[in-house]
Structure 1
């Protein structure tokens, strides 16, 4: 199988003694297993997908060099090339000076005072979802958490007056996109031009999502009403050096990026967390004790979060064991030396936070869900749920806040127990999601 078009000219090979693995078909069928197996093969392993060599970085220190120490020697790579035509040139896909400018403009929207206001929308969205639950009801937790996360993202972006029908449409579009993006990354370029069912669904979802955002954005730009949401902050943002605002197209691209990037990662992290609580009653009981003691029956607030240390450790352990952002890529701008290996310009680099977080050399008994391992946190290079360096996710604290608010709101009133003994499998799409997660709602006594 080839991952390139007929005119593709691969970069020259790396210099240095590298294990070379030819797992093209195995990678497509089971990429996470292949990447986990490669961890024992060396700090850098050459993985060939057709004619395309991809260099898998396993060493936490070398990964720190790529992401932080020598970040200017790399761009974002093939996966982001495939994503850019869909989400535009937003903060997740832009490069160089333009990326740094956008980061300066966007970061204030995620500062602590703003998070306090967003937390109210997060709690209200969670409360509206769980209000319809009934004891004994069976729910698809992954699906419900995704709908809740999209609702939170959309209402934080656009305000609370967005109707549920629009949220459902956005949710559907995001789901189609994120199911297809990894497939498009590893498949030959010409596949995208074939009228396959997946391709048609992908294009239809992309056009519909853009149309929804365009409608909302045009209406907001015509309005003189002052609003307190993320979109208003993006419209009002000015470059501190030039005083220039973002163009309409750039605001559009940033909104699409936030909708796509924000929904899945938080939704499936929370789904995995609830799954682990359902499988570990002792852990769940400790969470309930903390929530009952701190909240005493009232709704959780932003100011409560520092007083919920066990809740925070649960989130950290879920981000470790179930790192939903399971695969990322970079590309060398010029020849670089990475450890003992010389990589040519244009070399594609791949790394997996998920497999690193399950490395027994870094985390003893790595497949055991143990929140108390975070009483002694690992070194920072070994824990990368939001990446690191100048391209680290700017919404990391937004996501952590949303996870804590949602978990506290759900667990204060309900228990969720697995509805089946069937194994829940990991599906490596754009994020690492469960294949199915049915659970039964039980009221807390």
Structure 2
């Protein structure tokens, strides 16, 4: 067997955790120079990091039956539940069968109408010339979309505010907790207290919504109704309240935070790249004209779709982990059952071997001709295999509908002297994103 190099910079007791938390993108980007498979330590835990797209693809697809969610997800599970994102094995397959119908094409078409109405309501409150915190606006839009599709009756303003306030805390602080020793999680510091409060508040809100819908018993045509009423084809059994709760939390966290980030970064990139913006505006005007953004309409926005794909390449999830359930061989390295394996979608998306000039925003890299030459495994914004995000089509539809709806009325221009940076937890967040509303 080849020798697996240990990445330099291992700390006593803490392993590479300080580097993972403090350097994040730079640390994972540098792993490829150490080898195709390298060893890092999260505290005392050895983790084998694969640094090439083909090996990540093997983990996600070809060998996926020999992997389950890894240690990072074990630490998330007490807070996020054992829903589709967190579950393993037979539980995952059963839950996926139950949840999948909620994301069929005919359902997505109906959701697109909700997305358009939410976007129109949002920009109806904008005023020409005002400076908006675009990242906050997009999170509010994403929250309202999830509220309108998951809970057809919507949420009260108070509950919507709770979601916007607590979900980022659970996601961002949850990642930190996944990497630090458990003893540090119990320290009475402000970050821990805020995280615990966020988890309690989110659990109380969702449990109340599930209980109310279960008692109601009616089909409201929304995602929550489908979850409550879903039945397994083999057994005829439905989900328990706890299982419905777990799936709702998974849909809330995935449907709000990641989609909101994609939309925020998209408007940032359009503002920073006027030539790209002009092509998008021209396409939207030509294809949609005075018609509202529908599912059928946005599917004709070819170049705008390339812009979305490039945003998803530039700003993906930072790190994913899996654990072997039996012996696996990766690049000649035999890994026994129970071995933790990690890979970084962000590092793969910024690897010049697959994406030339990777830090340049270039939607044309997703033109049909160039996509044909791009290694399929080098683009994984929604993971892959049986673990591919069940809501991928939902998320992409939302980004396109909101983008088209906004740009038919307004452009969003960068504010001079207000540079936009990144802070990275599980994904890159803008440090701030003020943009000026410019009428078209």
TM-score range, shorter chain: over 0.9
Query: Aligned residue for 2:144?
Result: 151
Q: State whether residues 316 and 374 of structure 1, in contact with CA within 8 Å, keep that contact through their aligned partners in structure 2.
A: yes
> 1:199–1:213: structure 2 CA closer, same or farther, 3 Å change rule?
same
Query: Aligned residue for 1:12?
Result: none
* Deviation sequence 1:75-124 (CA, Å, 0-9, x none): 11111111110111100101111110000010010000000000111111
Match of 1:185 among 170, 173, 178: 178
- Secondary structure, counterpart of 1:20 in structure 2: coil
Q: State whether residues 68 and 389 of structure 1, in contact with CA within 8 Å, keep that contact through their aligned partners in structure 2.
A: yes
- Secondary structure, counterpart of 2:299 in structure 1: helix
Q: State whether residues 43 and 180 of structure 2, in contact with CA within 8 Å, keep that contact through their aligned partners in structure 1.
A: no
Q: State whether residues 147 and 154 of structure 2, in contact with CA within 8 Å, keep that contact through their aligned partners in structure 1.
A: no
- Secondary structure, counterpart of 1:307 in structure 2: coil
Query: Aligned residue for 1:97?
Result: 90
Q: State whether residues 425 and 436 of structure 1, in contact with CA within 8 Å, keep that contact through their aligned partners in structure 2.
A: yes
Is 1:236 aligned with 2:229? yes
Q: State whether residues 58 and 351 of structure 1, in contact with CA within 8 Å, keep that contact through their aligned partners in structure 2.
A: yes
Is 1:19 aligned with 2:5? yes
Match of 2:356 among 364, 380, 383: 364
- Secondary structure, counterpart of 1:297 in structure 2: coil
Is 1:349 aligned with 2:335? no
- Secondary structure, counterpart of 1:21 in structure 2: coil
Q: Which runs of 5+ in 2 are unaligned?
A: 10-15
Structural RMSD (CA): 1.3
Is 1:275 aligned with 2:268? yes
Residue 359 of structure 1 and its aligned partner are, at CA, apart by 0.7
Residue 291 of structure 1 and its aligned partner are, at CA, apart by 0.7
Matches within 5 A, 1:403-418: 403-418=399-414
Query: Aligned residue for 2:13?
Result: none
Matches within 5 A, 1:8-407: 16-23=2-9, 24=16, 25-323=18-316, 325-375=317-367, 376-377=370-371, 378-407=374-403
Q: State whether residues 413 and 437 of structure 2, in contact with CA within 8 Å, keep that contact through their aligned partners in structure 1.
A: yes
Q: State whether residues 357 and 363 of structure 1, in contact with CA within 8 Å, keep that contact through their aligned partners in structure 2.
A: yes
Residue 218 of structure 1 and its aligned partner are, at CA, apart by 1.4
Q: Which runs of 5+ in 1 are unaligned?
A: 1-14
Which ranges of 4 or more aligned residues in structure 1 deviate by more than 6 Å?
none
Residue 177 of structure 1 and its aligned partner are, at CA, apart by 0.6
* Deviation sequence 1:369-415 (CA, Å, 0-9, x none): 11111112122211100000111110100101111101111111111
- Secondary structure, counterpart of 2:49 in structure 1: strand
TM-score, length basis structure 2: 0.95
Residue 422 of structure 1 and its aligned partner are, at CA, apart by 4.4
For residues 224 and 374 of structure 1, what CA distance do their matches in structure 2 show? 46
Residue 64 of structure 1 and its aligned partner are, at CA, apart by 1.1
Query: Aligned residue for 1:11?
Result: none
Provide the aligned length of Structure 1 versus Structure 2.
Answer: 429
For residues 329 and 218 of structure 2, what CA distance do their matches in structure 1 show? 54
- Secondary structure, counterpart of 1:94 in structure 2: coil
Is 1:428 aligned with 2:420? no
- Secondary structure, counterpart of 2:429 in structure 1: strand
